[in-house]
Amino acid sequence: MNRVANRGAVMTGIATVVAIMLAIGMVAGPAIAAGGMEQQSPEASYSPEQRRSMATKVWEDIKLRYSYFEDKDLDWDGIGQKYISLAETAGSDREFYSAVVEMVRQLHDGHSYVYGYPGPLAGEARGTTALSVAIVDDRPTVVAVRPGSDAETLGVELGMEIAEVGGVPAQVLLERLQSAVTASTPWYARAAAAKALLNGALSQTVEVKLVDGDGRSIVVELAREQSSRSVEPIEGRLLPGGVGYIRLSSFSPGNLGLGSASEFKEAFDCALEAVRGSEVLIIDVRGNGGGDDRLAGACARRLVSSATEFPGYQMRVVTFGKAWFTPLMRRNVVPRGLWQYRGPVVLLIDEFVFSSAEHFVAGLHDSGRAVTVGANTAGSSGNPVQRQAGGFRYQISRWREYRTTGELIEGGGIPADVVVMPTVEGVRAQRDEVLERAIEVARDLVGR
């Protein structure tokens, strides 16, 4: 294959990946996920020389500031040579944007991505269906059906396997989507791809073939609707047998419908008060995408009786055009409040526990204060800085966060002491098998 043909094949592959990423709302993180790109003129805006210059500025800025090059053994020079060339010779603004997005994606970092383009780039609002999909027993499976939805009316049931989407085998589409997810670990990428399997253009329906437990299949046409984040308040309650339970879905006040850090701490303290009489406490952080690690620390401080070492970090700093790392900054959490919870703690975790939530889990787990139940966390810690170069807006990781064991959170996450994965049978029966196992673990911890 000659150079021109080869370049065309690579560019087509990049454009396909980015088209998928736009469909699932993952090209530019929260900016697109919240409702799609603004509708803009598709006219070309930049010469090849301008494109090369712009892409080079992004590459140079990342080379100077990104924190994990050595840890990931990345050949950033080689990556830059490849994608800057593709940016320069792009046939359209879409291809130019695709090349820069793909260049940044080679960092394989859930905190590092492009979220703003300097020129006109058309887009379309994206949406999702009334189904929630996850990998269960190694297959994309329906784990929730919104009551009253078209999916429910058409007979979609919990535990059904997604066999095809738009005539494409679901496993094939899943692999394509996984390659387009901005992620630090393959397990997070696969979980996120499954979650986005039915996403796409808001104006279009999607044909889905599903198979039930008896091998019977149905084909349904489902409408898409704008995605919205459900607000889960911090909740504390007592389960049977003297087990306390707190649901903690975010360390970002806004995601919980709260207006400030002080309101967040007050809500957590109220939840903890509700379980004060429990012998053992389960804290459910499944799906917690992080937020403010100072608030994660504030929660942890109600669970320790003395100063406890938590993950430390090194910052990548740039002064006078030179990059260097600070010494390791060690961090401790100290008791907070009039009383602290002293009983055993069990943490429920999964692949979507991310960023500041991993700081919380790592600190409690590695200090011996908590037992983890569920699945390995996402393995993404970046403390990202927002940057602009060559007109592009993007963010990149700027620190290395270390567990007290000396291991990086980035690329590894925190393991489950007791691994529990949902089963199709459990989904069909509407059982929370992870919570059930956590209750057993909790009772074992107090000898009951």
pLDDT at 151: 97
Domains and CATH numbers, the chain: 3-116 (3.30.750), 126-222 (2.30.42.10), 235-378+413-445 (3.90.226.10)
pLDDT of residue 120: 63
Nearest residue to 390 via CA among 47, 49, 54 = 54
pLDDT of 28: 34
How far CA 173 is from CA of 69, 115, 170, 185, in Å, comes to 30, 24, 5, 19
Helix axes 170-180, 186-195, angle to 10 degrees: 120
The pTM score is 0.90
Rounded distance between C-alpha atoms, residue 425 and residue 403, angstroms: 36
The DSSP secondary structure of 215-243, one letter per residue, reads S-EEEEEE--B---PPP---EEEEETTTE
Please give the chain's pLDDT, 448 residues, in tens. 444 444 444 444 444 444 444 444 433 333 333 233 333 434 558 899 999 999 999 999 999 999 999 999 999 999 999 999 999 999 988 899 999 999 999 999 999 999 998 766 656 788 999 999 999 999 999 999 999 999 999 999 999 999 999 999 999 999 999 999 999 999 999 999 999 999 999 999 999 999 999 999 999 999 999 887 788 999 999 999 999 999 999 999 999 999 999 999 999 999 999 999 999 999 999 999 999 999 999 999 999 999 999 999 999 999 999 999 999 999 999 999 999 999 999 999 999 999 999 999 999 999 999 999 999 999 999 999 999 998 899 999 999 999 999 999 999 999 999 999 999 999 999 999 999 999 999 999 998 6
Q: What is the C-alpha separation between 175 and 179, in angstroms, rounded?
A: 6
207 to 33, 60, 164, 166, 285: CA distances (angstroms): 22, 44, 8, 5, 33
What integer pLDDT is reported at residue 448 of this predicted model?
A: 63
